[in-house]
Amino acid sequence: MLNVNVYNMKGEVCGSMELSEKIFGAEVNSSVLHTVVRAYLLNQRQGTQSTLTRAEVSGGGRKPWRQKGTGRARQGSTRSPQWIHGGIALGPKPRTYKVSVNKKVKRAALYSALSSKVANGELIVVDNIALEAYKTKEMVNMFNALGCQKEVNKNYKENGEKKSHNVVVPQKALLLLENVDEKVVKSCSNIETVKTTLVNTLNVYEILNCEKVVATKAAIEKLEEVYA
């Protein structure tokens, strides 16, 4: 049985919650994770890059000089690839990068990603997130109270000497909500290290690309209802 603490917005423990073994206790399959993340990133590409070949560049219809007797190399057009303003040889053309992944593979990757967060202690469950107004400061205080911070060593110079000191910086966090809460979403939009998402739009890349997953209790329950 997987049990995690449930916190309030002040970072205080206010209860516990049992997680589904199927979703949050699965074996982490790195091969499946790689396949799904690669497919996701490829599907983000528009594939609209395009260059003009020598047939598509305007001009160049006239032979620049006669074939023989000039001492120069023979040329048939001023729009050949070796000329300035000429066409591009073997350049990119519009194409699709779309990669399809089976539904079972996607689901297995989602289970692996969520399980890895639980195993590493990077899943934080919050009882409820509610704001009375649009307040970014309240959301920042909540993430700080939940421990979404880390110490990093930064180097600096003082009087020509190299020194270093530890600095506390915010971690990349993914806020998982059950439904759209405009006040919460807009309050988090000004926080550079925080991204908000919903249960029905959750993907493997977002989970792996953050250091902490902060989810509401309702979002976890809905996630288990849909996938378990």
Spans of all domains in the chain: 2-45+101-227, 47-96
* pLDDT tens track for 187-217: 999 999 999 999 999 999 999 999 999 999 9
- Looking up tokens 């400061």 gives 137
Give the C-alpha separation, 219 to 225, whole Å: 10
* pLDDT tens track for 55-108: 999 998 899 999 999 999 999 999 999 999 999 999 999 999 999 999 999 999
- Superfamily holding 2-45+101-227: Ribosomal protein L4/L1 (3.40.1370.10)
pTM: 0.82
Enter the tokens of residue 25: 């206790």
Give the C-alpha separation, 56 to 216, whole Å: 56
pLDDT bin (cut points 50, 70, 90) of residue 1 is low
